[in-house]
Chains A and B, each alone.
Chain A
Amino acid sequence: MTGSEDIIPFVLVLATVFLPVLSFIGLFIAGGSIHENTRSMTATGMIFFSWMSALIALIYCGVSGQWDYALPWFRYLSSHQFVEHTISFSINGMSLIMLNVVVFISFLVHLYSYEYMGHKKNHVMYYPYLGLFTFSMIVLVLSNNLLVTFISWELIGFCSYLLVGFWFNKEAAAQAASKAFLINRVADVFFLLALLLVFYQYGSFDLNAIHDFQSTHYSSGTIDFSIGMLLFIGCMAKTAQFPLNSWLPDAMEGPTPVSALLHAATMVAAGVYLLVKLDFLLTIDVRFVMVIIGSLTAFFGALPALTTFNSKKILAYSTVSQLGYMIAAIGCSASSAAFFHLFTHAFFKAGLFLSVGAVIHALHNVHHKLAYEHRFVHMDPLDIRIMGGLGKKMPLVFVAYLITASSLMGLPFFSGFLSKESILNAMFTFAEYRHGIALIAPILGIGTVLVTAFYVTRLGIWMFLGESRLNELKYYSEHVWEKVKVNHPVIIVPLVLLSLGSFFVLFSTDPFHASHSWLLSGQGHLGRVSGLRSGFVEEYGLVMIGSLTSVVLGILLAVLLTKKRVSVHALESKKSILTRFYYIDDVIQGLVVMPLQKTSLAIAAFDKKGLDGIVHGIVYITVIKAHIIAWFDRVFVDGVISLMVYSTGKFGKAFRVIQRGNVQNYLFWVLALMLVVAIWVLIKGVLF
């Protein structure tokens, strides 16, 4: 091992890395042989200690230090010199903060799953998968080597496949898992290409080496642009940027705690985190593309949330839109703002998912209780149309939802406000200096604030306010609800913790100025190669006024429209552009899947008719030829031999009788022959 002298951060981080993987291996091997409570307690305990050691590491190291470690990995000889590869990882402010977020959210999800998954069937592999997922994300966070990063990147994709398709005997879940996996594979190809180009250009996968090389060498613009662009495309699927984002709403088929983990700490965060980390590889042109795509995704990704009635999908669209913000912020050279938003988003989105999950879980239980009494009703616990009035029944969940939703909307005094303001400021600065088409970034940014406020308020009103629409269910009565345990501590504790994390105080003492938060003001010290930079961002008073106005407008509109139950039928119909998510799937279906299927069908048909025909023809001819040869063999070759055998046999049989060893017989033949000769002589004498 080479690197820093101080061994303590190394040990602490090592513990953080290996506890989840220990949980994975142990529970994977144990399988169903241990009780489910033991299983969940073991996994949760492991993650808890993992979080503890991460927290101690953060406290010990602070946010301004940098520790680099490298373990020897492999080396090979290339043109008379060894190329050395190391498993290098860097412990700095950024990775430590991210590490804590990941393990913390993962811990809360583990805790929450104890109740949420407790009554579900077939979840032996649930905790092992969570452990592996957490482990892969931690490796991605810490790794300073792009190859290791790529491996963990793929592991994350694989784990999300396993967990999204966790209820794989549900058709939709299996399909969503395959879809997520395949779309991510498409992007991964570009990521791999980016890695190859990086190695070609810099001769190393080590980020420190690349950084040093870049700051001392002149580099070609085309390759740099290609590397940046390929990296961005590679991260597009995981960060759900248009047009590779249709998998994210579908991924809601997974268990709700998994959605929280996926959206807050692992899968989508991996893409943003990696782009922030590799910020120094992105050129100006790539950044421009990122701003455009990011802001478009932010606005248009949020719009479908206005119309859908699936509570989890509303949150999924919300994630798409927030990720658009982050990508746009990176594009605006304000990676620190993006990272800040990633951080705050992790808390409030996990909180939102877990509070909505609590509601879904309660409704699930209602469904189960009714089914237990042999009263089968058809209900979709995810549908917000059967909810309503739950605020009185689940007050703690309601409060948690209010806090995290306010943070998402960007109300002052909440964390979301700070990070969103910093992103909007970055967008305005960008637009001011680039003009032209760059102007759509702030416009869409402010528009997204309005849309976000609208759909979050709408979801809240439908779920928690008004009259309970559960009464409209057949067989439902209030005593059923009383049997449903809604305030289980393992559900409430994560909600409380995440709600506390959504307040501004965790990030800044000044609730109105993002730049005063410790994360942004200390960005210069968050690590040498952390990539964090806020670029040049001006602060506009107008931005705050504009965004606050939009928020208030959004809330008011939502209250008005939802109260009156105004629904725009054209938008809510099954075939509207929003419910079909801009026909992205249809376009992919039309442009990629259908031609592929058609081509393969055509090839199959050609195979069947053309190639198989030729093969069949050859076979047919060969068989006929063989038959002819066989016939010839049988009749002529065999015939001659048979004839010889036959005639010899017959001949032998005929002449055997005269040589039976009977002497008198011999004599008879002798005399007979003599007689014949005598007669012959006589006749000859008489005739001639």
Chain B
Amino acid sequence: MYEITLSHYLIIGAFLFIIGSLLVLTRRNGIFILIGLELMINAALINFVAFSHFDVTKKGGEVAALFIVVLAVCASVVGLVILMKVYKQFHTIYVDEVRQVKE
């Protein structure tokens, strides 16, 4: 069978990042953008864990991953709060409708 190498992890991370970024770029709904953001953070997270897995001396990557999970939760909380505020202000969470810059 094939051995799972670092490249496989990195490719999965890259896929996740691309999917996340596509979500962020294409979806109009603010919630899905937050989801995309989570995916992108998770992609970075997988990279951390993967690099840490092959780094046998120190397990710094896992620690960083734990920090990232906490930060990601904080970030999504902040993001949701912002979305709530946006909704209060604009009565919508579709980001393309949320704009004050007029052409």
Contacts and interface: CB of A to CB of B under 8 A. Distances in A.
Q: Which 10 A-B pairs have the closest CB atoms?
A: A661-B101, A661-B99, A663-B95, A668-B25, A664-B25, A662-B96, A671-B21, A667-B24, A667-B25, A660-B103
A119 interface: no
Interface string B24-50: 111000000100000000000000000
27 contacts: A656-B103, A659-B101, A660-B99, A660-B101, A660-B103, A661-B99, A661-B100, A661-B101, A661-B102, A662-B95, A662-B96, A662-B99, A663-B95, A663-B98, A663-B99, A664-B24, A664-B25, A664-B26, A664-B33, A664-B95, A664-B96, A667-B21, A667-B24, A667-B25, A668-B25, A671-B21, A671-B25
Nearest to A671: B21
Given A661-B102, A664-B24, 15 more contacts: A656-B103, A660-B101, A660-B103, A661-B100, A661-B101, A662-B95, A662-B96, A662-B99, A663-B95, A664-B25, A664-B33, A664-B96, A667-B21, A668-B25, A671-B25
Contacts of A667: 21, 24-25
Contacts of A663: 95, 98-99
SS class of chain A's interface: helix, strand, loop or mixed? helix
Contacts of B98: 663
Contacts of A664: 24-26, 33, 95-96
Interface string B88-102: 000000011011111
Interface string A619-663: 000000000000000000000000000000000000010011111
Contacts of A656: 103
Interface residues of B, number: 13
B26 to A, nearest CB: 8
A675 to B, nearest CB: 10
Interface residues of A, number: 10
B51 to A, nearest CB: 18
Contacts of A671: 21, 25
A671 B33 CA distance: 15
Nearest to B96: A662
A584 to B, nearest CB: 97
A656 to B, nearest CB: 7
Contacts of B96: 662, 664
A671 B37 CA distance: 13
A664 B24 CA distance: 7
Interface in B2-40: 21, 24-26, 33
Nearest to B27: A664
Contacts of A668: 25
Contacts of A659: 101
Q: Which of A656, A660, A664 has the most CB of B within 10 A?
A: A664
A662 B95 CA distance: 7
A622 B88 CA distance: 71
B96 to A, nearest CB: 6
Nearest to A659: B101
Nearest to B95: A663
B61 to A, nearest CB: 21
A661 B99 CA distance: 5
A261 B24 CA distance: 122
A663 B25 CA distance: 9
Nearest to B21: A671
A661 B90 CA distance: 14
